[in-house]
C-alpha cells in the first residue's frame, strides 16, 4: 500500500519548493491530493512544471474533486459549465498521470452539495446521477483516467447497495468508488459497529474500489447527535477490519490521509502504519 496525503499543498502550487517536496517524500508519502482550481490556474505549461517537480522527488498526483451538485439538476444554469469542468479535469488528470478524479453524488439541499435532504432518499436522485455519469464518463474513458464516486449519508447515494445500482446503471469501465467508511457512519449504531459498514462496503463494492481513505469519526457528548470526523486514530472506526479487507482485496491500492489538521498528519500516518503492521498489510 502506498501512502498519500491531502491538505498540505499551499493555495498557489507555483510556490511549492524542493524543500517542501523533499519533506513529503521523507515523511513516507508517495502522492499528494490536490484541488481543482489551483491546477486550472497553473495552465498546461504550469501543470507540466508541477508534475516535473513532483517527479523529481518520486511523488505523484493522487486525486482531486470536481466539487458540484449540478450534475443531478438537469435545468441548473451552471450545469453545462460544470460538465465542461469534468471534461477539463479528465484532460488534466491525463497530463498529470493522476490516479483518479473524484466527485460526490450531490444533494437536493440548495445550500450545500453535501447536506441531508428528504429528497435525497428518493430513487430519482440516483437516476439523475446515473444519467449524468453516462454523459461524463466518456471524457475519462477517452483520457484513460479513473473517476471515483465518494458517496455517503448526506447525498443522493447513501449506501453501498445504492452505489452499486449507479455503477450497474452506468456500465463504464473507468467509474469506481472511494472506500471511505466514515461516509457510511449515519448514526451511533453504525459508527459503534463500524466493522459491519466496512464489511458491507467491501462485500458490495470490492471490485470497484479505486483507493482507500484514512480518516476517523467519533461522537461529541450531548443530547443531540453529533458525529465528527478527523484524524485517523482519534475516533472509534474499526481500522483493523478496514485494513484486513484492504489487504485481501488489493494491498497495492493507495491510502489517502485526508480531512486531518496539518499538525496531526504525522500522528495519523504513524497510527495507520501501526494498524497496518498489526494485520500484515505492508505500507511502502
pLDDT of residue 110: 82
- What percent of the chain is modeled with pLDDT above 90? 85
| Measured torsion, CA atoms of residues 107, 4, 60, 33, in degrees rounded to the nearest 10 | 30
Once rounded to an integer, what is the mean pLDDT over residues 261-270?
96
What is the distance between the alpha carbons of residues 119 and 100, in angstroms, rounded to a whole number? 29
Residue 100's nearest CA partner among 211, 19, 12, 213 is 211
Residue 166 has pLDDT above 70, yes or no: yes
Grid coordinates representing 117 are 435532504
pLDDT above 90: residue 146: yes
- Residue 69 pLDDT grade (very low, low, confident, very high; cuts 50, 70, 90): confident
Across the range 152-180, mean pLDDT stands at 95
Say if CB 167 and CB 208 are below 8 A apart: yes
C-alpha cell at 20: 517542501
Distance CA 30, CA 25 (A): 7
Class of residue 284 by CB neighbours under 10 A (exposed 0-12, middle 13-18, buried 19+): exposed
Please give the Cα distance from 68 to 277 (Å, whole number).
38
**Max Cα–Cα distance, the chain, nearest Å:** 54
What is residue 135's predicted lDDT score, i.e. its pLDDT?
97
Query: By mean pLDDT, which of 44-58, 217-231, 254-268 is the weakest?
Result: 217-231
Cell numbers 453545462: residue: 80
What are the two backbone dihedrals, phi and then psi, of residue 66, each rounded to the nearest 5 degrees?
-90, 105
| Mean pLDDT of the chain, nearest integer | 94
Identify the DSSP state of 148: E
User: Which H, E and C letters describe 94-138, residue by residue?
Assistant: HHHCCCEEEECCCCCCCCCCCCCCHHHHCHHHHHHHHHHHHHHHH
Which three three-digit cell numbers place residue 231? 484524524
What's the whole-number mean pLDDT along residues 115-143? 94
Mapping DSSP to helix (H, G, I), strand (E, B) and coil, where does residue 25 land?
helix
Q: pLDDT for 271-281, tens place per residue?
A: 999 999 999 99
- CA–CA separation, 249 vs 276, rounded Å? 14
Percentage, residues of the chain above pLDDT 70: 99
What's the CA gap between 284 and 270, in Å, rounded? 13
Q: What is the DSSP string of 157-217?
A: --SHHHHHHHHHHH--TTEEEEE-GGGG--SHHHHHTHHHHHHHHHHHHGGGEEEEEE-EE
Q: Tell me phi and psi for residue 9, to 5 degrees.
A: -70, 145
Amino acid at each position: 500500500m502506498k501512502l498519500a496525503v491531502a491538505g498540505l499543498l499551499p493555495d498557489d502550487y507555483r510556490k511549492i519548493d524542493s524543500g517542501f517536496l523533499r519533506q513529503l517524500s521523507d515523511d513516507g508519502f508517495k502522492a499528494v491530493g490536490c484541488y481543482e482550481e489551483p491546477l486550472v490556474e497553473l495552465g498546461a505549461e504550469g501543470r507540466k512544471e508541477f508534475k516535473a517537480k513532483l517527479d523529481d522527488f518520486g511523488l505523484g498526483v493522487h486525486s482531486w474533486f470536481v466539487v458540484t451538485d449540478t450534475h443531478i439538476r438537469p435545468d441548473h444554469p451552471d450545469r453545462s459549465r460544470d460538465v465542461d469542468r469534468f471534461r477539463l479535469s479528465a484532460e488534466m488528470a491525463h497530463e498529470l498521470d493522476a490516479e483518479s478524479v473524484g466527485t460526490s453524488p450531490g444533494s437536493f439541499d440548495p445550500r450545500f452539495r453535501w447536506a441531508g435532504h428528504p429528497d435525497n432518499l428518493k430513487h430519482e436522485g440516483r437516476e439523475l446521477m446515473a444519467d449524468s455519469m453516462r454523459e461524463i464518463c466518456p471524457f475519462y474513458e477517452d483520457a484513460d483516467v479513473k473517476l471515483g464516486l465518494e458517496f455517503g449519508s448526506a447525498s443522493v447515494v447513501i449506501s453501498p447497495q445504492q452505489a452499486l445500482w449507479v455503477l450497474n446503471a452506468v456500465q463504464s469501465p473507468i467509474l469506481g468508488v472511494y472506500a471511505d467508511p466514515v461516509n457510511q457512519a449515519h448514526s451511533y449504531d453504525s459508527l459503534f459497529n463500524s466493522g459491519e459498514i466496512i464489511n458491507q462496503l467491501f462485500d458490495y463494492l470490492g471490485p470497484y474500489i479505486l483507493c482507500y481513505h484514512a480518516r476517523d469519526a467519533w461522537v461529541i457528548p450531548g443530547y443531540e447527535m453529533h458525529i465528527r470526523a478527523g484524524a485517523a486514530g482519534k475516533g472509534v472506526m474499526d481500522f483493523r477490519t478496514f485494513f484486513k479487507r484492504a489487504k485481501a482485496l488489493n494491498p497495492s491500492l493507495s491510502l489517502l490521509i485526508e480531512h486531518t489538521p496539518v499538525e496531526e498528519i504525522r500522528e495519523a500516518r504513524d497510527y495507520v502504519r501501526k494498524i497496518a503492521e498489526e494485520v500484515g498489510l505492508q505500507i511502502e
